Amino acid sequence: MSLIREIDYGTPASASEAEVTLTIDGQEVTVPAGTSIMRAAQEMGTAIPKLCATDMMDAFGSCRLCLVEIEGRAGTPASCTTPVAPGMVVSTQTPKLAKLRKGVMELYISDHPLDCLTCAANGDCELQDMAGAVGLREVRYGYDGDNHLAEAKDESNPYFTYDPSKCIVCSRCVRACDEVQGTFALTIAGRGFESRVSPSQSEPFLSSECVSCGACVQACPTATLTEKSVIEIGQPEHSVVTTCAYCGVGCAFKAEMRGEELVRMVPYKEGPANRGHSCVKGRFAWGYANHKERITKPMIRASIDQPWREVSWEEAISHAASEFKRIQAKYGRQSVGGITSSRCTNEETFLVQKLIRAAFGNNNVDTCARVCHSPTGYGLKTTFGTSAGTQDFDSVEDVEVAVIIGANPTDGHPVFGSRLKQRLREGARLIVIDPRRIDLVRTPHIEADHHLALRPGTNVAVLTAMAHVIVTEGLVDEAFVRERCDLDEFHDWAEFVSQPRYSPEATEPLTGVPAEELRAAARLYATGGNAAIYYGLGVTEHSQGSTAVMAIANLAMATGNIGRPGVGVNPLRGQNNVQGSCDMGSFPHELSGYRHVSDDTARTMFETLWGVDIDPEPGLRITNMLDAAVEGAFKGIYIQGEDILQSDPNTRHVAAGLAAMECVVVQDLFLNETANYAHVFLPGSTFLEKNGTFTNAERRIQMVRKVMTPKNGYEDWEITQLLSNALGYPMDYGHPSKIMDEIARLTPTFAGVSFEALDKHGSIQWPCNEAKPAGTPVMHMEGFVRGKGKFVITDYVPTDEKTGPRFPLLLTTGRILSQYNVGAQTRRTANVVWHEEDLLEIHPHDAEDRGIRDGDWVKLQSRAGATTLRARVTDRVTPGVVYTTFHHPATQANVVTTNYSDWATNCPEYKVTAVQVAVSNGPTEWQERYGDQAMRSRRIAREEPVLEAGE
């Protein structure tokens, strides 16, 4: 294996369809109009020396190294800023150019430390390469004049250093931050010789506006901005392309290695979801893989008050299997179940649900999508016929109006957030529907046209009021509706939404959204050109989550904003493989490809291949399993890669359910919160230690490639296979590619998917088949998958969770950029410098009423329970609303959330909890008790080493 070096074409590709032919160094080349001479030359294999140009951003033309001569033109123009023209004759190498380039390089080198041999970037430095490329052999100016060699390094960022002595002021970092990331954290301060890169107002990187995405580090042609891991470990010597294991954007990275050691993750320019960009999590937060708390040996214990005992894999697996068999023999076939993981690969997820259906012999399988995007599955399947988003991320480049509802892309889906910001800076319009002022409402060079700061829990009322405006003001795309949708259902719906009770004026008192603002937003959505809706858990995690998804689908159909690039309904999926875990049949009622277990034809396919009977009745959902456990009927569970104690609502109920079981098997990297209630711990493997595939929010199946040996000894799919064999249901997959072959055989939407096909196409967006082997970037182009689009009546039913004198505020929850979900991984990385604890955001008016000052400890009390955390007083939230994240187990935010859930899918209503907030002295009794119990539960009894005589 070698290091993958992607070609840098110097300037971005031109999207023009017109072609231009020119001659470069005597060779004819044809490129799209608008291409730079530099890129055209590189496309035919000629690398013109360059320093300030790179193909991730527009040409700048500052270094003057890329000069060329053009017949009939005076001077020596910069090839990066000069576009090609028909018939142009260009020379890239002449004695005159060589002399000029040498002169430029001499100037750069005279103010540069000559420590190449000991520099961390030695061998990966464009300045060094260019000195060689132009044949620089001496520097006439000497090295003793004014220079910047003694300037101090900024090492404040945990992941990279800034060494100004090595800066050539090419501005690539500044432009990367502006154009690629969209944070505008860097400037070139000072003038002329004194000019230097400066984060924010000459602050250290850590305290500046920098969000540590790494784009500037990647763009820097010198060692000025360098990953600390490269400084510590040295230059990588081979690399493998793989997929980020954090969020549903699905960024592709080159894992750059030295032997078995990961040196750095570099975003892959050919990654179709990220196009060479990254966020702080995928780029830098991978250190958890080696964290000292990672468990690599299997452990068992007879009861949860005992310490863990390390055992062999054989003992752990046979103990777990015999316990499940004992429980089923005693309490019946339905008394056990399992939970698949959206963090694991498709192959691993498929295998867990297969184990449950085939080896346990029931359908008691569920997944974390239950608690996030199950309403998306239900809502989009009902209206369009497919449980998935309609577009690819590239589609954002054609968006003219973006609607962001219940999502916070710059924190939750940061690389998509950056791509969206690029489009907004190009002029696309923006509507934000969110109770909180997310960054996109106002961020450098972007301001939302409308921010509908609705009251939590009123999405359906707002969306239906938007439909009211569209229908009653005659903004429906009638031709689209007539051709593509069920007309009778449309008429019923149009009549429903036209009712006066859904006018913006009538809904304003409920939703808190000013009627005129809502009307203006609805008009913009309907008439502003290509309009795309992007939504997140702020839509789904409600008692009317499925209704809100269908209300969104109604809007898209009514305005014809579906079935082409730049439009559509786009759920921003949370975890890396939440789409995949749903596709793989992780729900108790569905086999892979969303076929109901009662569907005889589908079930027979599985039964024939698997050689077992499958129960035609749906099994238990997570909540039902826990309820049944509390009632004494459900006794054993196999949980792969989920921390339900921290992630699921009403923590006390989850704890009671787990505590009531006789065998809880947790397969994970760390002793997570759920493992406090476990009897068997099977150590899991990280995404760096396994082969397989993830499916991102665009339905894009991408390869995950193993770059190191699993520290625990097995990839996760192998552990499931061991367990299944021990349970008496044989599995013998030699490699995950064989599991994918089985998935493709059993799942029509995955027809033709294989590891070979993925290697060939790079990625595949399901649905795919022989006619479309690389899949379908935009769905429902010619017609809806279900036939005619279905308009659904979306009556607004207020949640039962009501505010009142005891609980006058509404709590809503979300994520922040540096942390990920329950934080099991990100808390075990240096990302904690940006978020050491969860804070409660509260509006200044509400804080003042309660005597709360910024930083005070406060008690957050709901009908379900109470917790304490510190307050942040901010007007990002509206009066009456408080907000927190749930990344830290000590916060126990889900002690406060209730048992209410979506009527169709049981997705918990995380986003609306009536609470009271008051100043407090410290942790609640539950927090203290829980903390003590967690500490006790994590004890590991290791055998003392046997001492030899004399030792």
Binding site for ligand FES (CB under 6 A): 50-53, 61-66, 78, 80
Which of ligand SF4, ligand FES, none sits in contact with 214, Cβ below 5 to 8 A by type? ligand SF4
Q: Is 518 in the site for ligand SF4 (CB under 6 A)?
A: no
Q: Is 186 in the site for ligand SF4 (CB under 6 A)?
A: yes
Question: Smallest distance, Å, CB 449 to ligand FES?
Answer: 37
Among 109, 139, 177, 552, binds ligand SF4 (CB under 6 A): 177
Nearer to ligand SF4, 66 or 279 (CB): 279
CA 354 to CA 335: how far, in whole Å? 17
Q: Is 170 in the site for ligand SF4 (CB under 6 A)?
A: yes
Question: Smallest distance, Å, CB 221 to ligand SF4?
Answer: 6
CA 509 to CA 69: how far, in whole Å? 69
Q: Is 90 in the site for ligand SF4 (CB under 6 A)?
A: no
CA 239 to CA 218: how far, in whole Å? 16
Q: Is 222 in the site for ligand SF4 (CB under 6 A)?
A: yes
Nearer to ligand FES, 180 or 703 (CB): 180
- Give burial (CB, 10 Å; 0-12/13-18/19+) of 926: middle
Opening angle at CA 802, ends 800 and 804, nearest 5 = 150
Question: Smallest distance, Å, CB 176 to ligand SF4?
Answer: 5
Question: Smallest distance, Å, CB 171 to ligand SF4?
Answer: 5
Which of ligand FES, ligand SF4, none sits in contact with 251, Cβ below 5 to 8 A by type? ligand SF4
Assign residue 588 a region (left: φ > 0; alpha: ψ between -120 and 50; beta: otherwise).
Answer: alpha
| Residue 142: Cβ within 10 Å count | 7
Which of ligand FES, ligand SF4, none sits in contact with 63, Cβ below 5 to 8 A by type? ligand FES
Among 158, 250, 276, 338, binds ligand SF4 (CB under 6 A): 250
Nearer to ligand SF4, 415 or 822 (CB): 415
Q: Is 216 in the site for ligand SF4 (CB under 6 A)?
A: yes
Length of the chain: 951
Question: Smallest distance, Å, CB 471 to ligand SF4?
Answer: 37
Identify the sign of the CA torsion 659, 661, 662, 668. Answer: negative
Nearer to ligand SF4, 337 or 571 (CB): 571
Question: Smallest distance, Å, CB 185 to ligand SF4?
Answer: 4
Q: Is 279 in the site for ligand SF4 (CB under 6 A)?
A: yes
Which of ligand FES, ligand SF4, none sits in contact with 186, Cβ below 5 to 8 A by type? ligand SF4
Nearer to ligand FES, 135 or 787 (CB): 135
SS3 state of residue 664: strand
Assigned token pair, 755: 């590891």
Those residues whose C-beta lies under 8 Å from the C-beta of residue 402, and which sit 6 or more positions away, are: 396, 420, 423, 424, 428, 429, 430, 431, 531, 532, 534
Residue that is written with structure tokens 């329970």 in the block:
865
Identify the sign of the CA torsion 405, 407, 409, 410. Answer: positive
Q: Are 649 and 899 in contact (CB under 8 A)?
A: yes
Which of ligand FES, ligand SF4, none sits in contact with 80, Cβ below 5 to 8 A by type? ligand FES
Among 414, 456, 767, 889, binds ligand SF4 (CB under 6 A): 414
Q: Is 403 in the site for ligand SF4 (CB under 6 A)?
A: no
Question: Smallest distance, Å, CB 99 to ligand FES?
Answer: 17
Those residues whose C-beta lies under 8 Å from the C-beta of residue 67, and which sit 6 or more positions away, are: 76, 77, 78, 79, 97, 100, 101
Identify the sign of the CA torsion 610, 611, 616, 617. Answer: negative
Nearer to ligand FES, 169 or 917 (CB): 169
Nearer to ligand FES, 80 or 779 (CB): 80
In order of 102, 138, 335, the CA distances from 107 in angstroms are 9, 11, 76
Q: Is 746 in the site for ligand SF4 (CB under 6 A)?
A: no
Q: Are 134 and 108 in contact (CB under 8 A)?
A: no
Nearer to ligand FES, 62 or 724 (CB): 62
Nearer to ligand SF4, 227 or 323 (CB): 227
CA 58 to CA 172: how far, in whole Å? 10
Q: Stretches 217-225, 365-373, 384-392, 554-562: which one binds ligand SF4 (CB under 6 A)?
A: 217-225
Q: What is the dihedral of CA 454, 459, 463, 468, to 10 degrees?
A: -80
Q: Are 814 and 411 in contact (CB under 8 A)?
A: yes
**Binding interface with ligand SF4 (CB under 6 A):** 167-173, 176-177, 181, 183, 185-186, 197, 210-216, 219-222, 224-225, 244, 246-247, 249-251, 274, 278-279, 281-282, 413-415
